[in-house]
């Protein structure tokens, strides 16, 4: 055999050994837990044959605790680039079969390399995480590695989309990089996120808790809001990443891809003319409104199980990707609380960073009152949403369907926060508060002094207030909304507004960066 053939054979052998990561036994253990390997996951994620791998032969440099005896090629993470639906993405997939996917300094160098390439070449960066955190044997070197990754997460934020998928137990440093990215997905029953696992929790606080209850997908998707999506399987998680990407641009200099639709722009939806109940305290389902106005009724929801009193997600209108934010009257009457404010603020800021126009559907009775909310800083958290809308320079089209009361009306993309086009349905009530509350404040003394006629006074004053304020005409007379539209024409009117705003250009004053209320 010639030297050249031998060289080629050696390469082929090294490659096939590297592809085994921590070895066949550990691959089988991974499968036995219902988990795929890093390479199997990348195969599902990327277009067939598109994966270009980097740093396959990188090895760790640790000599502590017997680590010098084993040097698996690739060292615990598979990195590179490929395409999804023909569009370039950079990827890293942690390999749990090598030291539990724990982060060594060389692993961090591999991850940083693809993060930098994603930033330089203007493409999304996707991390498939399955890691026990900092590699204990490497000490401070591993911690430094995390610092390097975090810094690149921060520099990439708002420049290229960053997506994290949690596909195993992720502890310590392994959860902070996902927290810095734009979207976090988790897989139910096989993935966990926590700073410290149940054993440490027990030793420090005495609390006994399972991995699932401490940091399972359902906990983070519904209680903490750390995860935006909880998928039933790894396949579903990967399909969700692909769908999410279809609504996003490659970077902050581009627009999201246009997708042709057979759904007519001028489609009139008669059902919307009767969707608002006569009783203002009765709920209806905002999903029905969203489904009726977007292309093909297709809505890709983000944060579905968290703070359900507000709905956020992506859709297309006339083929163009839009971010939809909508109060949900059927959950807590659509009130804004801490969770809803945080959820919507983050979504609005993402859309603004990536040139995705905002369509806001308003039916909000106000902010949730009470000590729980005040102690949890509803003032600061509500201000996040206010700030997010006020700073956003993407096209902002708003429709007030019913209630738009008080501060919540202002927060939800009103005209004064540089809302571009603000419509109202004839059922809109844009006022400081609802009629009952207003009468109780304004006429309390009168009713107290005449208890016999208190009810009659209440009814009379309520009628007066309703005639004056429980409609959209006061706001329309003053130009605070641009038009009162027939509900059934909403799709057409919003799409026409978006077309008008296609080349919108708006500046914010020069600054180093803002100081939004965190």
Smallest distance from ligand HXC to CB 214, Å: 11
CB 343 within 8 Å of CB 310: yes
**Contact residue for ligand HXC among 80, 124, 127, 169 (CB under 6 A):** 169
d(CA 383, CA 375): 15
Q: Which of 59, 273 has the CB closer to ligand HXC?
A: 59
Distance set, CA 53 to CA 37, 95, 159 (Å): 16, 14, 23
Residue closer to ligand HXC by CB (options 148, 301) is 148
Least distance (Å) between residue 197 CB and ligand HXC: 4
Q: Pick the closer one to ligand HXC by CB: 197 or 318.
A: 197
Q: What is the rounded distance in angstroms from the CA atom of residue 7 to the CA atom of residue 48?
A: 27
CB of 134 vs ligand HXC, minimal distance in Å: 3
Distance of CA 8 to the CA centre of its chain: 46
| Beta carbon nearer to ligand HXC, 180 or 410 | 180
CB of 343 to ligand HXC, least distance (A): 25
Task: Give the CA distances from residue 303 to residues 130, 298, 322, 388, in Å, rounded to whole numbers and listed in that order.
Answer: 22, 16, 16, 17
d(CA 271, CA 206): 56
Among 93, 107, 123, 171, binds ligand HXC (CB under 6 A): 171
Using the 8-state DSSP alphabet, how is residue 191 labeled?
-
Residue 187 CA to chain centroid, in angstroms?
16
Determine, following the binding rule CB under 6 A, whether residue 194 of this chain makes contact with ligand HXC: no
- Alpha-carbon Rg for the chain, nearest whole angstrom, is 27
Q: For residues 88 and 50, give the distance between their C-alpha atoms in angstroms, rounded to a whole number.
A: 9
Specify the stretch interacting with ligand HXC by CB under 6 A; choose among 132-140, 158-166, 347-355, 430-438: 132-140
Q: Does 99 bind ligand HXC (CB under 6 A)?
A: yes
Closest separation in Å from C-beta 345 to ligand HXC: 24
78 binds ligand HXC (CB under 6 A): no
Mark residues 422-461: x for contact with ligand HXC by CB under 6 A, - for none: ----------------------------------------
Report residue 52 CA to chain centroid gap: 28
Cβ count near 26 (within 10 Å): 18
CA distance linking residue 344 with residue 324, whole number of Å: 10
The residue (of 22 and 339) whose beta carbon lies closer to ligand HXC is 22
Return the residues of window 45-74 that contact ligand HXC according to CB under 6 A: none
d(CA 189, CA 187): 7
Q: Closest distance between ligand HXC and the C-beta of residue 213, in Å?
A: 15
Asked if residue 431 lies in contact with residue 467, where contact means CB atoms within 8 angstroms, the answer is no
Options 89, 94, 141, 146; binder of ligand HXC; rule CB under 6 A: 146
Binding of residue 209 to ligand HXC (CB under 6 A)? no
Measured between alpha carbons, how far is 238 from 15 in angstroms, rounded to an integer?
26
Minimum distance, C-beta of residue 284 to ligand HXC, in the bound complex (Å): 45
**Of residues 76, 80, 161, 173, which one binds ligand HXC by CB under 6 A?**
173
Cα–Cα distance measured from residue 16 to residue 42, given in angstroms and rounded to the nearest whole number? 16
Q: Does 329 bind ligand HXC (CB under 6 A)?
A: no
Cα–Cα distance for residue pair 337/343, rounded to 1 Å: 10
Residue 197 contacts ligand HXC per CB under 6 A? yes
Contacts of residue 483, defined as CB under 8 A and 6 or more positions apart, other chains included, come to 423, 424, 476, 493
72, 74, 82, 100: which one contacts ligand HXC (CB under 6 A)? 100
Q: Name which position in 67, 88, 112, 176 contacts ligand HXC (CB under 6 A).
A: 176
Quick one: 171 or 317, whose CB is closer to ligand HXC?
Answer: 171
Counts of helices then strands in the chain (DSSP H, E): 20, 17
Does residue 136 interact with ligand HXC by CB under 6 A?
yes
Of the candidates 132, 357, 404, 434, which one interacts with ligand HXC according to CB under 6 A?
A: 132
Angle at 413 between CA 407 and CA 416, to 5 degrees: 75
Q: Which residues pair with 322 in a beta bridge?
A: 315
- Active-site residues: which are they? 172-173, 407-408
SS (H, E, C) 472-494: CHHHHHCCCCCEECCHHHHHHHH
Closest distance between ligand HXC and the C-beta of residue 194, in Å?
A: 9
- The one segment of 8-16, 94-102, 319-327, 487-495 that binds ligand HXC by CB under 6 A: 94-102
**For ligand HXC, which residue of 74, 145, 161, 172 counts as binding (CB under 6 A)?**
172
Q: Scan residues 102-131 and list those touching ligand HXC (CB under 6 A).
A: 102
Q: What is the closest distance, in whole angstroms, from the C-beta atom of residue 161 to ligand HXC in the complex?
A: 23
On whether the CB atoms of residues 476 and 417 are closer than 8 A, the answer is no
Cα separation, 114 vs 119, whole angstroms: 8
Nearer to ligand HXC, 11 or 144 (CB): 144
**Residue 492 is a binding residue for ligand HXC (CB under 6 A):** no
Please provide the DSSP assignment of 354-410 as one string: TT--EEEEEEE--BPPSHHHHHTTHHHHHHHHHHHHHH--S-EEEEEEEEEEHHHHH
Name residues contacting ligand HXC, limited to 292-311 (CB under 6 A). none
- Interface segment toward ligand HXC; rule CB under 6 A; list 172-180, 307-315, 459-467, 500-508: 172-180
List contacts with ligand HXC (CB under 6 A): 99-100, 102, 132-136, 143, 146, 169, 171-173, 176, 197
């Amino acid at each position: 055999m010639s030297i050249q053939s031998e060289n080629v054979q050696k390469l082929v052998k090294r490659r096939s050994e590297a592809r085994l990561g921590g070895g066949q036994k550990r691959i089988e253990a991974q499968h036995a837990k219902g988990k795929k390997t890093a390479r199997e996951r990348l195969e599902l994620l990327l277009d067939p044959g598109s994966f270009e791998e980097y740093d396959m032969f990188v090895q760790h440099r640790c000599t502590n605790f017997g680590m010098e005896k084993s040097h698996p090629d690739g060292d615990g993470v598979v990195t590179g680039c490929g395409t999804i639906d023909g569009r370039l993405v950079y990827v890293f997939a942690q390999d749990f079969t090598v030291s539990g996917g724990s982060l060594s300094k060389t692993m961090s160098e591999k991850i940083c390399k693809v993060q930098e390439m994603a930033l330089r070449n203007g493409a999304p960066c996707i991390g498939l995480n399955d890691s026990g955190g900092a590699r204990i044997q490497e000490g401070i070197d591993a911690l430094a590695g995390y610092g390097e990754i975090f810094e690149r997460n921060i520099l990439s934020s708002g420049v290229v989309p960053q997506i994290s998928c949690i596909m195993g137990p992720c502890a310590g440093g392994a959860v902070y990089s996902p927290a810095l990215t734009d979207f976090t997905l988790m897989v139910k029953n096989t993935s966990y996120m926590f700073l410290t696992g149940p054993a440490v929790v027990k030793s420090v606080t005495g609390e006994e808790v399972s991995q699932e209850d401490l940091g399972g997908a359902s906990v983070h998707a519904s209680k903490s809001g750390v995860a935006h999506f909880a998928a039933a399987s790894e396949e579903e998680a990967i399909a969700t990443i692909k769908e999410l990407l279809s609504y996003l641009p490659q970077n902050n200099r581009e627009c999201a891809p246009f997708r042709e639709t057979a759904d007519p722009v001028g489609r009139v939806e008669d059902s919307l003319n009767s969707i608002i109940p006569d009783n203002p305290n009765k709920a209806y389902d905002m999903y029905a409104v969203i489904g009726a106005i977007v292309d093909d009724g297709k809505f890709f929801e983000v944060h579905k199980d968290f703070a359900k009193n507000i709905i956020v997600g992506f859709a297309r209108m006339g083929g163009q990707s839009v971010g939809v934010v909508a109060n949900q009257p059927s959950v807590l009457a659509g009130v804004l609380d801490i969770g809803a404010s945080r959820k919507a603020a983050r979504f609005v800021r993402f859309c603004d960073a990536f040139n995705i126009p905002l369509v806001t559907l308003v039916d909000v009775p106000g902010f949730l009152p009470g000590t729980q909310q005040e102690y949890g800083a509803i003032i600061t958290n509500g201000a996040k949403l206010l700030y997010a809308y006020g700073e956003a320079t993407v096209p902002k089209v708003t429709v007030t369907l019913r209630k738009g009361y008080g501060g919540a009306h202002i927060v939800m993309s009103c005209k004064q926060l540089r809302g571009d086009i603000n419509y109202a349905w004839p059922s809109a009530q844009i006022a400081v508060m609802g009629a009952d509350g207003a009468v109780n404040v304004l006429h309390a003394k009168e009713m107290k002094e005449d208890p016999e006629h208190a009810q009659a006074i209440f009814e009379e004053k309520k009628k007066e207030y309703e005639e004056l304020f429980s409609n959209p005409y006061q706001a329309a007379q003053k130009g605070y909304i641009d038009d009162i539209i027939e509900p059934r024409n909403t799709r057409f009117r919003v799409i026409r507004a978006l077309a008008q705003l296609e080349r919108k250009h708006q500046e914010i004053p020069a600054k180093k960066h803002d100081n939004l209320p965190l």
